[in-house]
Each structure stands twice: as structure tokens, then as C-alpha cells.
Amino acid sequence: MAITRDEVLHVARLARLALTEEEIAKFQEQLSAILQAVGKVAELDLSGVEPTAHPLDLSNVWAADELEPSLALDDALSNAPDQEDGYFRVPAA
Amino acid sequence: MIDTLRVTAQEANDLLTSGEASSDEIFSAYRAAIDERDGELNCFLHVNDDAPGAGVPVAFKDVISTRGIPTTAGSKILEGFKPVYDATVAERCAARGLRTIGKTNMDEFAMGSSTENSAYGPTRNPWDPERVPGGSSGGSAAAVAAGMAPWALGSDTGGSVKQPAALCGVVGLRPTYGTVSRYGIVAFASSLDQIGPVAKTVADCAFLYSVVAGHDPRDTTTVELPEPVQVPEAEDLRGLRVGVPKELNEAEGIEAGVSEAVNAAVELCRELGAEVGECELPRSVEFGLPCYYLIAPSEASSNLARYDGVRYGLRVSPDGIREMYEQTRDAGFGDEPKRRIMLGTYALSSGYYDAYYAQAQKVRTVIRHEFAAALERFDVLVSPTSPTVAFPLGAKTENPLAMYLSDVLAIPPNMAGLPGLSIPCGLSEGLPVGLQLIGPQFSENVLFRAGHALEQALGFDYVPPRLAA
């Protein structure tokens, strides 16, 4: 299954990746080859088979509703590229 | 002087408890080995000279958060990042006195099978520096093989502990999903990621597993172990039923020398008293790799959305927030993470979800059932861990699909959440061959027992000849 240049651009936009022209061409070719290989899963008729999201039979794992200490503000901001008044600072949206 | 190439973690610990060596002397011996060999091998991204503790050293794959110690996951997007808390596994090691000697090199975000995808240069194989150590936990496996750490932790999503252990001639465990906490681990594919030990012997591997395993309230996917970890002692395999899945042992691309070593190990199982028989996994091997390369990239595309230049890590800062996200991610991620983010985003996108992601989740059910059926007849299944021995650097970097095939035998049991132990079982072309032992969920003690008995009988010498004095 070959994917088009427009599909590569669409997916890159969804994934918030600003690809270079060179990357667009390379990924179009490589993703087509990979999709062809993984598309093999379509060969199996799996109607009626339940999907597996997780290998263990766990459901509704709750934590006790108790107050616990969380990260201090200074710690939470310590790796921030930019900050102001206790907030992460970003360019205007 | 302690011969760090030869000494096991258990023996290093014995030196400590008998008073023959102090914790500082042992630490210095491994530290000296790093100075001597890591210039060539590049196993470490960060060496920790100020490591508290009274025990022996341990190395952590750089995917494990260590408070105040740089943690990059092999990526430029996390260059300079210093975690503000410890991963549970790091905390548990520290609680037992283990000293963090350093953070080991890896494929970026654990995506790769050769450690060549590291943004900080490849790690080289201690058996032959022109060859890869495997990956993604190549730094951990090579560091143990080269005597730069008595043992180490890696992470395994699609074979990333088992395969490098095999290629470096050491022992590696991918534990049952849910037995080791992922709290504080840089996430790749959350339904598959597991932390696992790498060591020179099965007994060391079992001991390190016992240190890190068990329920953690901070990771709701963890469970309590059904029985305590037993460090193995038995030297026979009497009463053990060993299955040889045809497809895992006859897959296309398995090198003749690899098959030879594995077949000899199977024969040895018989001599040690095991009942050996054939079985089949008709769809698990054929469809395991495609299933993995839909599910893991899909989960990765979601997990890696957090690298957006806002809270930590790299920021490329043009005007406008969307431009900041897109340019930060383009500059910070290497090729392989981008490729997998693109693939996963595509597989999850509107119009393709059912054909790819949902279908792959059903294939995963098929694989679980096939393994469950085989494991009703057998206690342990065996196969090569990797179809090949360590390959030359650069041999597969231009062809992502060829690289993905390195894990074709390691992936299927992972999809079913099963534990797998890789032990060295011989040499082919002078390079180590790994034997994969697979068991039912929570059967680590059985794998340790079988691995230990085989290890004793095989007498594999884990010291790379070119490093032996």
C-alpha cells in the first residue's frame, strides 16, 4: 500500500512534525514499504475475535482517595524552557 | 584487584560481606573499567562519580528516571533534562544499597535493535567493536559484558533486553508484563514496556529481578508476585516439559550457526532430564511482527506527544505556538522516533483505525491464545533469541524493515505479556548466540531454574576474548 505525499503531510500535521522536503520524500517511501509489510494483518479473518488492549486481566484499579504530597512548584518548573510567575510560558497561540 | 570482567554480582557482593573489599574499592574497580574501555565502546551517556550506597554498583538504561542525574532516553529532545524524582526501580535499587554507577546508552526512546539510533553515537559490541551490541538496551548489555557494571537494568518493549543480551553474550530477562513498575520510566508503548535485568549469570539476573519486582501503587498496571523470586540452584531439568515451537525455530533468516547452537542446547535439555517435544505457533510468528509494528508505534505516537517544548526538554522558539511545537519536534526527534510517530499517527487516524490498530489488537488475542495452548503442553518454550549474531555497524541503518526483523523471534511472546529469558548458549563465527526461554505469565522462577541448569551444563565463557588479559 503506497501512501501519497498529501497523506504524509496530513499525518505530519496531525503529529505536529514540521518535516523538511527531504524527510517528506524519505518517509513517503519508507512508510509505504512498512505499511505494506504490516498491512499483512488484514489477511486474517478475525470477525468475532475480541481485541487485546492489555495483557493482564486487570480492570478498575482504584487508588485510595487520600491526600498525598505532590511535586513542589519549583521542582515542576525546574526543567521548563521558559517560565513566568510560577507558570510555563509559551509563545502566543 | 577485582577482575570485573570475570566477577559476578553475587561474587562482588560476597567480597563485600566477607570484608575482602569495601564498597568503594568495588565501585572504583568498575569505574576504572569504564575509564579503560568506554572510550571505545560508548556504553555510558553519564557516569556518576558521586553514587551513594554501601553495596555493589548497578547501571541503568537512560530511560530510567534518576533524580538530579541527567536522563535523556538517548534523545536530543531531552538533552540536559534532570528528573525531579526517581523511578520506582531506581528507588528500590537504592534501598538495597546498590550504587548507580551510570546511565547507559540506548536507541532513542528505546526504538531500535542496534543502539545506532542513539542521538549520542552508537555503542559498540565488546566482542567485536565493528559490530552492534543489539538494542535498544545495547549500552546496558555491553556494559555488563565488558565488566563496566556487575549488572544493569534495561527496558524491553519488543525484545530490547533479550536481543542485546543475546548479542553481547550475557543473560537478560524480559519479565511478565505487570511485575515491574514503570513509574518514572520514559514511556514508549505502555501496554508492552517492561523493565528487566541484564547480568552475567541467571542467578544474578534472578536476584536483581527480586530487587525491582512487585506491586507499586504508583503504577496501576503492576501486580504482586504470586510467589517470591527463587534464586536458582538445581542443576538438572528432570520433570520439565520443554517445547520447541517449529515456527520460532525455523523462521526465514535464522543463521545456520545460530540454529546449530540452539539445537545443541535443546539436545542438552534432554540430557539434563527434560521431556522435549515439538509444537506449533502457526500465526504468532508470521503475524507477530506486523502486529507489533502497528500497536507499538500507535502507543508511541500518543506517548511522545508530550515532547512539545512546553514543560521540559528542547524548545525551538519561533513566533506562534503551533510553529514552536512542530519545529521543536522536528529538531529534537531523530529519524526512528519520527518514523514511528508518523506510522502510529497514520494507523490511529480516521479511516484507518479499524483496518490497522483495531485489527492488530485482535491479532494480539490470537497470539495470546496460541501461546496459551502451547504452554498447556509445555512448561517452557525454546528458540533462538535473535535470528543472527551481532551484525556490523551500519548494516541495517538504511533499511528500517531489515532492522525490525532482528526482533522477529523476540516479539511474539511479548505481545502475549509472557516472560522471556535469554541466556548465551554458544558461539557462531566467534560471536555469542542467545537461547530464548519463554514461559507462562509469572513463571520467572521456572525460567530461572531452567536457565541456570543449562548455564551450568553449557559452561559458556562470558568474557569477550579480546578483552581477556
d(CA B93, CA B97): 7
- Bridging pattern class, strands B171-174 and B99-104: unpaired
Query: What is the spatial distance between Cα B146 and Cα B18, in angstroms, rounded to a whole number?
Result: 25
Chain B contacts of A31, Cβ < 8 Å? 339, 342-343, 346
Q: Provide ipTM, 2 decimals.
A: 0.96
Q: Encode burial over B358-387: b for 16+ CB neighbours within 10 A, e otherwise.
A: bbbbbbbbbbbebbeebbeebbbbbbbbbb
Closest CA to B38 of B161, B153, B148, B170: B148
Query: Residue B217's CB: how many other CB atoms inside 10 A?
Result: 13
Nearest CA in chain B to A8: B342
Closest approach of A65 to chain B, Cα-based (Å)? 13
- Is B371 in CB contact (< 8 Å) with chain A? no
**Quick count: other Cβ atoms within 10 Å of Cβ A18?**
18
pLDDT at B356: 95
> pLDDT tens digit string along B211-257?
999 999 999 999 999 999 999 999 999 999 999 999 999 999 999 99
Query: Which of A3, A9, A11, A75 is the best substitution to test chain B (most B C-beta atoms within 10 A)?
Result: A11
The Cα B451–Cα B389 span in angstroms is 20
Q: Are B134 and B159 in contact (CB under 8 A)?
A: no
- Measured between CA atoms, how close is A11 to chain B, in angstroms? 6
Residues of B in contact with A70 (CB under 8 A): none
Where along chain B do its domains lie?
Answer: 9-281+367-458
Task: Say whether B84 and A76 touch across the interface (CB within 8 A).
Answer: yes
**Best B192, B193, B303, B362 residue to mutate vs chain A (most A CBs within 10 Å):** B362
- Chain A residue numbers touching B296 (CB-CB < 8 A): none
* B76 noted as active-site residue: no
Q: Which residues of B touch A46 (CB under 8 A)?
A: 359, 362-363, 365-366
The partner residue sitting opposite A18, judged by closest CB among B314, B326, B368, is B326
Residue B205 to chain A, least CA–CA distance (Å) = 23
Residues 6+ apart with CB under 8 A from B150: B4, B7, B8, B9, B12, B30, B56, B57, B58, B144, B199, B200, B204
From the list B90, B84, B63, B65, the residue with the least C-alpha distance to B75 is B63
For β-strands B57-61 and A87-88, DSSP reports them as unpaired
* First and final C-alpha spacing in chain B: 13
- How far is the C-alpha of B440 from the C-alpha of B450, rounded, in Å? 14
Considering only CA atoms, which of B85, B346, B228 is closest in space to residue A17?
B346
Name the amino acid, one letter, at B361.
Q
C-beta neighbour count of B291 within 10 angstroms = 28
Q: A18 to chain B: which residues are within 8 Å by CB?
A: 323, 326-327, 329-330
Q: What are the residues whose beta carbons fall under 8 Å from the beta carbon of B20, sequence distance 6 or more?
A: none
Q: Flag whether pLDDT at A63 surpasses 90.
A: no
Q: Which three cell numbers stand for residue B325?
A: 511545537
Predicted local confidence at residue B319, as pLDDT: 87
Query: What is B9-281+367-458's CATH superfamily?
Result: Amidase signature (AS) domain (3.90.1300.10)
Domains of chain A and CATH, by start? 1-45 (1.10.20.60)
Nearest CA to B159 among B179, B184, B188?
B188
- B321:A58 CB<8 A: no
Q: Is B124 within 8 Å of B142 (Cβ atoms)?
A: yes
Sole residue written with cell 524519505: A26
Measure the CA–CA gap between A59 and B224, rounded to whole angstroms: 15
Extract the residue ranges of chain B whose pLDDT is less than 70.
Answer: 469
Count CA atoms within 13 Å of residue B140 on its CB side: 39
**In sequence order, what are the residues at sequence separation of 6 or more whose Cβ sits closer than 8 angstroms to the Cβ of residue B194?**
B155, B156, B157, B174, B175, B176, B177, B179, B180, B182
Pairing assessment for the beta strands B194-199 and B171-174 based on DSSP bridges: antiparallel
Pairwise CA distance, residues B174 & B197, whole Å: 8
Whether B290 sits inside 8 A of A39 (CB atoms) is: yes
pLDDT at B162: 98
Distance from CA of A68 to the nearest CA of B (A): 12
Please state whether the predicted TM-score (pTM) of the whole model is above 0.95.
yes
Identify the pLDDT of residue A1: 66
Q: Which residues of A touch B287 (CB under 8 A)?
A: 40-41, 44
Distance from CA of A84 to the nearest CA of B (A): 12
Which of A65-71's residues contact partners 24+ apart within 8 Å by CB, and which partners? A71/B84, A71/B85
Sequence-distant (6+) residues with CB within 8 A of A35 are A1, A3, B343, B346
Q: Is B312 in contact with A79 (Cβ distance < 8 A)? A: yes
B302 catalytic residue (yes or no): no
**Chain A to chain B, count of Cβ pairs less than 8 Å apart?**
180
In this complex, do A55 and B441 lie within 8 Å of one another by their Cβ atoms?
yes
Q: Is the pLDDT of residue A24 over 90?
A: yes
Which of B:226-255 have CB within 8 Å of A?
A: none
Cβ pair A38:B365 closer than 8 A: no
- Chosen for mutation from B111, B156, B329, B359 (greatest number of chain A CBs closer than 10 Å) is B359
B23 is catalytic: no
Strand partners, B153: B60, B197
Q: What ranges make up the beta strands (E) of A5-80?
A: none
* B188 three-state secondary structure: coil
Residues of B with Cβ-Cβ distance to A88 under 8 angstroms: 310-311
CA distance A19 to B289: 27
Question: Is there a contact between B82 and A49 if contact means CB atoms under 8 Å apart?
Answer: no
Catalytic residue among B23, B75, B160, B386: B160
Task: Kindly list the residues from chain B whose CB atom is less than 8 angstroms away from the CB atom of residue A15.
Answer: 301, 329, 341-342, 345
Which of A7, A18, A80 is opposite residue B311, by nearest beta carbon?
A80
Distance from CA of B345 to the nearest CA of A (A): 6
Min Cα separation B37/chain A (Å)? 32
A11, A23, A50 member nearest B349 (Cβ):
A11
Which residues in chain A are contacts of B342 at CB distance < 8 A?
8, 11-12, 15, 17, 27, 31
For position B447, what pLDDT does the model report?
Answer: 98
Q: Answer positive or negative: Cα dihedral of B197, B198, B199, B200.
A: positive
Per DSSP, B114 falls in state: S
